[in-house]
């Protein structure tokens, strides 16, 4: 596998011990992984990888996602339309300002 150009790290609230506790997973990020992967394929966004992560420690601004290598932190997305806006921004080499938290 080639190294990704962009890596979307989606918080799924996992903690080192026990069940997911934080806001992100409870707000549906577990379901977002499949949606994002399908959209990336449909859009032909080669080199973009999606992974789940443990708690990103910004729970109060979740659901949270980080885009690397850009180190762009997004939060407060509420569903597929918001994820589409983030993917649109990646395709356009822009930032989805509405969800920027850092």
Instruction: Find, among 10, 5, 89, the residue nearest to 47 by Cα.
Output: 5
Cβ proximity to ligand FES: between 59 and 95 the closer is 59
By beta-carbon proximity to ligand FES, the closer residue of 47 and 79 is 79
Instruction: Pick the binder of ligand FES from 36, 48, 50, 56 (CB under 6 A).
Output: 56
Q: Is 58 in the site for ligand FES (CB under 6 A)?
A: yes
What is the smallest separation between the CB atom of 61 and ligand FES, expressed in angstroms?
8
| Rounded alpha-carbon distances, angstroms, from residue 22 to 63, 68, 74, 75, 91 | 9, 22, 16, 13, 30
Residue 22, interface with ligand FES (CB under 6 A)?
Answer: yes
Is residue 48 exposed (0-12), middle (13-18) or buried (19+ Cβ within 10 Å)? buried
- Chain residues binding ligand FES by CB under 6 A are 11, 13, 22-24, 55-59, 62, 64
């Amino acid at each position: 596998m080639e190294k990704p150009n962009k890596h979307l790290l989606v918080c799924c609230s996992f903690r080192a011990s026990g069940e997911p506790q934080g806001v992100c997973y409870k707000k549906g990020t577990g379901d977002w992984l499949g949606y994002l992967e399908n959209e990336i394929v449909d859009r032909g966004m080669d080199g973009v990888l999606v992974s789940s992560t443990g708690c990103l420690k910004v729970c109060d601004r979740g659901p949270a996602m980080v885009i690397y290598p850009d180190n762009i932190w997004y939060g407060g997305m509420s569903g597929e339309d918001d994820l589409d806006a983030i993917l649109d921004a990646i395709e356009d080499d822009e930032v989805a300002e509405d969800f920027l938290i850092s």
